């Protein structure tokens, strides 16, 4: 990896909350500073770049021209389409126009988080902006989906490191998620699983069973239907994950999880 030149990266931000970026910035292995400062050339991103206005636009267009066919495109956020396209505009263009333009010369395209992968909260009923995940717009492109609201920082960094190291896409499952991180349910790697198997359940939050660390299935945990690496990789440098803090998984890496509610019920 050290001998290769730093790959050019474009990171677009459409309809999103920026927590995917926040999560990425907290990756500890690899350290995100190593990636951003030594390994990548992050040529355009609305949140982290020093440039703004015309200078930022110039950097984007220079990358599109000078690195056509070579740059990695990272997309955070959903895209409002059709008559609602004006709900998200940058530099005088709609996100719907921009995504087509920036995808054209991308070597690899990554959908960060549930917004770009599934539409997430903006696409929840009644989806007032016609928020659309990017694979429904870029129909002829392979999209690496990294769902989660947000995804785990180390998973995001791991996907980028794979692209840089092997210069090819990671192995994906049938809906486009990297198998290395999304081939198992949260339930499959949950440390509370022996309680589930033994029929030991929390019946309500703060009951004595909760204090015993019993399984959270009866208070709405969606770990059995959620594919993510939380039980293995955990969060904040491997410190913990929602279930370890006493709250069931809400299925944040699954499509339509906002509409599959209410939370706390099956």
Nearest to 248 by CA among 180, 195, 198, 178: 195
CB of 224 to ligand F3S, least distance (A): 11
224 binds ligand SF4 (CB under 6 A): yes
Nearest to 25 by CA among 16, 15, 34, 38: 34
Smaller CB separation from ligand SF4, 16 or 96: 16
Q: Is 20 annotated as a binding residue?
A: yes
Among 131, 157, 169, 215, binds ligand SF4 (CB under 6 A): 215
Tokens 């939050």 belong to which residue? 205
What residues numbered 234-263 form the site for ligand F3S, per CB under 6 A? 241-243, 249-253
Among ligand SF4, ligand F3S, none, partner that 253 touches (CB below 5 to 8 angstroms by kind): ligand F3S
What's the CA gap between 189 and 227, in Å, rounded?
10
What's the CA gap between 168 and 107, in Å, rounded?
9
Q: Is 249 annotated as a binding residue?
A: yes
Letters for 171-200 (x = contact with ligand F3S by CB under 6 A, - = none) are: ---------------x--------------
Write the burial class of residue 73 (CB in 10 Å: 0-12 exposed, 13-18 middle, 19+ buried). buried
Nearest to 245 by CA among 213, 203, 199: 213
Among 15, 117, 228, 233, binds ligand F3S (CB under 6 A): 228
Among ligand F3S, ligand SF4, none, partner that 94 touches (CB below 5 to 8 angstroms by kind): none
248-263 per-residue burial string, b: 16 or more CB within 10 A, e: under 16: bbbbbbbbebbebeee
Q: How far is CA 15 from CA 155, 157, 176, 209, in A?
A: 22, 22, 21, 40
What's the CA gap between 55 and 37, in Å, rounded?
20
Which of 37-45, 46-54, 98-106, 112-120 is the region at the interface with ligand SF4 (rule: CB under 6 A)?
A: 112-120
Q: Is 87 annotated as a binding residue?
A: no
Structure tokens at 131: 């928020």
Question: Would you list which residues are annotated within the binding site for [3Fe-4S] cluster?
Answer: 230, 249, 252
Query: Rule CB under 6 A: which residues touch ligand F3S?
Result: 148, 186, 226, 228, 230, 241-243, 249-253
Query: Rule CB under 6 A: which residues touch ligand SF4?
Result: 16-17, 19-20, 76-77, 113-115, 120-121, 149-150, 186-187, 190, 192-193, 196, 215-217, 221, 223-224, 243, 248-249
């Amino acid at each position: 990896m050290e001998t290769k030149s730093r790959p050019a990266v474009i990171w677009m931000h459409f309809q999103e909350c920026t927590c995917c970026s926040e999560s990425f910035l907290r990756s500890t292995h690899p350290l995100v500073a190593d990636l951003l400062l030594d390994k990548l050339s992050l040529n355009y991103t609305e949140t982290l770049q020093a440039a703004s206005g015309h200078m930022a636009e110039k950097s984007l267009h220079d990358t599109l021209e000078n690195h056509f066919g070579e740059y990695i495109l990272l997309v955070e956020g959903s895209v409002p389409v059709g008559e609602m396209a004006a709900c998200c505009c940058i530099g005088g263009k709609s996100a719907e126009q921009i995504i087509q333009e920036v995808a054209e010369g991308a070597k690899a395209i990554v959908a960060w988080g549930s917004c770009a992968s599934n539409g997430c909260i903006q696409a929840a009923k009644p989806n007032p902006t016609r928020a659309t995940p990017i694979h429904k717009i870029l129909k002829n492109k392979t999209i690496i989906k990294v769902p989660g609201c947000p995804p785990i920082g180390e998973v995001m960094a791991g996907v980028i490191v794979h692209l840089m190291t092997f210069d090819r896409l990671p192995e994906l499952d049938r809906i486009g998620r990297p198998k290395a991180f999304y081939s198992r349910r949260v339930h499959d790697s949950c440390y509370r699983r022996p309680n589930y198997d033994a029929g030991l359940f929390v019946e309500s939050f703060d009951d004595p069973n909760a204090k015993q660390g019993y399984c959270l299935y009866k208070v709405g945990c969606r770990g059995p239907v959620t594919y993510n690496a939380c039980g293995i990789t955990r969060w904040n440098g491997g410190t913990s994950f929602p279930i370890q803090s006493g709250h069931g998984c809400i299925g944040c890496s699954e499509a339509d999880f906002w509409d599959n509610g209410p939370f706390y019920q099956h």
